[in-house]
């Protein structure tokens, strides 16, 4: 994001559509409005720095024994290929099975089930970059070290899309399956594997037989975390436990130095959670900024701050 044009509560137009890469002349005001969810003004235009479309891609679906192995694979991939790692998605067997059960046309490209999978994609705007060579080198070492047990490399665009479908259809498959509770959370990348192990153990202690669908962007620590009721649990009992499970998940995320809202914002629903977990000094400053820019509370009232 290079710049923004914003209409302020008093009608003033903040014209900040600069495209300079460097501009150290006072406060960088665009960051006041990014993430403010319309509570400080209405964004009417934006200046963006675009990334060139990839001209070469290599995509692999890999079977891994655990999130810890997946993290080791991520480190190896970044060491050997740097910023060509465009995607590194972690999925449990539950995610794949959910897609197989609820979405038409999903297939498992590997010979046998694995407890966890990684969908890894390398991409570059340069057609001269030997991505296939990099990917094969990554996988050879990972298999030798036990980080990967099986895998397939897409040999066509059609196969690449087939690899991505189980990941991309998780929202729809989850909607059809129903009865989920959880959140869009993030923790430091180096702690994702430990977080998944500990959170599932602790939450299973509250509701034995709890089913977990914990998938997401391991490369940036963002996990879409869903819990579903044990098959034998009554619907009424499950509904009664859902709020406590959600609250406990948020507590564990905070213990790991993470965020209870990685991508989806605060809105009205999460205001109380923000008030509980955000640093008090940060909340005070946010309220001061809100009062200074929008003293009448006109902009998106009832959102973000209590």
- Contact (CB, 8 A) for 77 and 69: no
Contacts of the segment 207-212: beta carbons below 8 A, 24+ positions apart: 207/233, 207/241, 207/245, 209/233, 210/245, 211/94, 212/92, 212/94
Q: Give the predicted TM-score (pTM) of the model.
A: 0.93
Residue 76 and residue 141: Cα distance in Å, rounded? Answer: 9
Task: Taking residues 243-258, report their average pLDDT.
Answer: 98
pLDDT digits (tens, 9 = 90+) for 161-184: 999 999 999 999 999 998 799 999
What percent of the chain has pLDDT above 70? 100
pLDDT at 18 over 90: no
Q: How many CA atoms lie within 13 A of 192 on its CB side?
A: 29
Name every residue whose Cβ is closer than 8 Å to that of residue 147 and which is 6 or more positions away in sequence: 64, 69, 70, 72, 73, 76
Q: Which domains, and CATH codes, for the chain?
A: 3-50+288-293 (3.30.465.10), 56-170 (3.30.70.2190), 178-255 (3.30.70.2740)
Task: Taking residues 5-9, report their average pLDDT.
Answer: 98
Residue 260: DSSP 8-state: S
pLDDT digits (tens, 9 = 90+) for 172-224: 999 999 879 999 999 999 999 999 999 999 999 999 999 999 999 999 999 99
Task: Taking residues 275-300, report their average pLDDT.
Answer: 97
Residue 195 and residue 255: Cα distance in Å, rounded? Answer: 9
Residue 213: DSSP 8-state: E
In this predicted structure, what is the pLDDT of residue 79? 96
Tracing tokens 């998940």 back to the chain, one arrives at 249
Residue 58 and residue 132: Cα distance in Å, rounded? Answer: 6
Residue 134 and residue 262: Cα distance in Å, rounded? Answer: 31
């Amino acid at each position: 994001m290079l710049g923004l044009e914003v209409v302020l509560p008093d009608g003033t137009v903040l014209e900040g559509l600069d495209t300079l890469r460097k501009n150290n002349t006072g406060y960088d005001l665009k960051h006041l409005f990014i993430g403010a969810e319309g509570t400080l003004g209405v964004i009417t235009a934006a200046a963006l720095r675009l990334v060139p479309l990839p001209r070469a891609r290599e995509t692999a679906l890999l079977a891994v024994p655990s999130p810890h192995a997946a993290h080791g694979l991520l480190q190896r991939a970044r060491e050997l290929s740097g910023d060509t790692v465009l995607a590194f998605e972690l999925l449990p067997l539950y995610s794949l099975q959910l897609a197989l059960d609820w979405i038409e046309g999903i297939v498992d490209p590997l010979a046998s089930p694995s407890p966890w999978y990684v969908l890894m994609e390398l991409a570059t705007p340069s057609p001269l970059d030997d991505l296939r060579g990099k990917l094969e080198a990554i996988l050879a070492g990972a298999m030798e070290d036990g980080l990967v047990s099986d895998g397939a490399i897409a040999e066509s665009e059609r196969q690449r899309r087939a690899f991505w479908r189980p990941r991309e259809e998780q929202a729809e498959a989850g909607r059809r399956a129903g009865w989920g509770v959880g959140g869009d959370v993030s923790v430091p990348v180096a702690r994702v594997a430990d977080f998944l192990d500990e959170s599932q153990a602790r939450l299973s202690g509250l509701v034995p037989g709890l089913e977990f669908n914990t998938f997401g962007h391991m490369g940036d620590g963002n996990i879409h975390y869903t819990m579903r009721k044990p098959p034998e649990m009554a619907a009424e009992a499950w509904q009664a436990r859902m709020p406590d499970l959600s609250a406990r998940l948020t507590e564990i995320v905070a213990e790991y130095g993470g965020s209870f809202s990685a991508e989806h914002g605060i809105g009205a629903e999460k205001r109380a959670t923000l008030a509980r977990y955000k640093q008090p000094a940060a909340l005070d400053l946010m309220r001061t900024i809100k009062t200074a820019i929008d003293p009448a509370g006109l902009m998106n009232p009832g959102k973000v701050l209590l």
